[in-house]
Structure 1
Amino acid sequence: MSNVVKRNFRPTKTWYEDADKYWKTVPSSIDGMLGGLEVVHRPDVRDSLKFIAKIRSNTSAPVGSAYACDCGSGIGRVTKHVLLDQFDKVDLVEQNDKFLETAASQYLHEEVESGRVCSMFATGLQGFTPAEGKYDVIWCQWVLGHLTNSDMVAFLRRCASGLAPNGLVCVKENIARQGYIVDKEDSSVTRTEAIFERIFNKADMEIVEKDVQTELPQGCFVVKMWALRSK
């Protein structure tokens, strides 16, 4: 077993390098993006679209539909099936060059050619700073587990500056029952709901909406969704 439950999370010196090495071994496919659980794809897309519809229902602070950012995009699974359904244009952020090459040349080729998929940033989130006021939604799914606590706080603060008026940061992540579950194979950590929400608070983000993913296979982590806005 590579998973270890810990009360505290202390990343190794090679935390980010180890994650990069792991993802370079993963195939550029939907199955690869989902860790061999392609069966999760349909319910994931369905509930993500429902979540966006829910945050869009707030007419007092309407979320725009011009531009989204897919953080930890991989080949662009979420971009293709969720974000492009809801937003005019999408940027991708992904540290693995191989995944971005697959996105540009195959998986999202038509969307790139049409101009709906715009910039592709080859960087980890610990090094990404969105352009000020650019995005209506910054979507972070199954990627924040690769960030240390302090880097997640810093990343979320940078994201707050990258939001358009009424913009939101959407987070969708696995949830641990207790403590931190550290996966030494892919250099990631699964946090409890309470730990996530303490980090959000430390980053000066308030929770606008939250929900839980349904119809996951038995044995999977609980998956929670949050919509965050700068306080």
Structure 2
Amino acid sequence: MNGRVFGRSKTMEDFPTEDEGVFYSKAEHYWKEVPPTVDGMLGGYGSISSIDISGSKKFLQKFLGEGKGKTRPGCALDCGAGIGRITKRLLLPLFRTVDLVDVTHEFLEKARSYLGEEGKRVENYFCCGLQDFQPQPERYDIIWIQWVIGHLTDDHLVEFLRRCRGALRPEGLIVIKDNVAYEGVVPDEVDSSVCRDLQILHRLVARAGLVIVHEEQQQNFPEEIYQVHTLALR
């Protein structure tokens, strides 16, 4: 994530298909140069980690429990997991087992030590870009996707969300938490990502055959960074 919020609004059509490979390879190169620390994962904003986790926990607890419509505390998937910041502080305290997926091998290696004793409940470390990742059908109660959808083209995001839908257990939930642009699509040439506005994100979610069951804006983040929204999907 980062604090660059200004730039010409674009659509993903401005990024030709033949540039997809460059779009992904530039992102992989960028993240290989990022230190495997919480501050590195948060683009220099490591100080907001506790606020972020607290807001995510309050959001998620609305859905956990017993009974109709409630999500069971079984297995969670952390997408774009990095060194496991979200796994360590949000998912492992709430779920019995967790899987991590990230494109950067060095981050996943760091996660094995960063997660400590509780990391024994991590079942899989998948080193893979989300555009290629194939989650196991009907495995997950929660699929948590945070600060990573900007690294996927529109079509690949839709396809990934469709695969995630098939990977949910009954009453399972997909959660997207990410930066939201004020209008259009704002590209970030530094880390080779884009930031979409809410209308575009809503449209892509609908294309994937998912429904937004709850949405909130994260509060108490620094004013200079993008607004961040959390969406629960089924």
TM-score (norm 1): 0.94
Distance 1:218 1:228 in 2: 27
After superposition, where does 1:56-71 map in structure 2 within 5 Å?
Answer: 56=64, 59-71=67-79
Distance 2:84 2:93 in 1: 13
Q: Which amino acid aligns with 2:24?
A: Y
Percent identity over the alignment?
41
Distance 2:65 2:182 in 1: 31
1:3 Cα shift? Answer: 6.1
Name the residue aligned to 1:154. 159
Name the residue aligned to 1:116. 121
Match of 2:206 among 187, 201, 208: 201
Unaligned 5+ runs, structure 1: none
Q: Which amino acid aligns with 1:52?
A: L
Would you identify which runs of 4 or more consecutive aligned residues in structure 1 move more than 4 Å?
none
1:2 Cα shift? Answer: 10
Determine if the alignment matches structure 1 residue 221 to structure 2 residue 226: yes
1:57 Cα shift? Answer: 6.4
Determine if the alignment matches structure 1 residue 107 to structure 2 residue 110: no
Distance 2:73 2:153 in 1: 31
SS in 2 for 1:42: helix
Unaligned 5+ runs, structure 2: none
Conserved? CA contact 1:3–1:182, under 8 Å:
no
Name the residue aligned to 2:193. 188
SS in 2 for 1:91: strand
Determine if the alignment matches structure 1 residue 73 to structure 2 residue 81: yes
Determine if the alignment matches structure 1 residue 92 to structure 2 residue 97: no
Counting matched residue pairs gives 226
Distance 1:79 1:27 in 2: 18
Conserved? CA contact 2:99–2:122, under 8 Å:
yes
Match of 2:44 among 32, 36, 40: 36
1:60 Cα shift? Answer: 2.6
Conserved? CA contact 1:135–1:163, under 8 Å:
yes
Conserved? CA contact 1:135–1:164, under 8 Å:
yes
Coordinate RMSD, CA, aligned: 1.5
Distance 1:15 1:6 in 2: 18
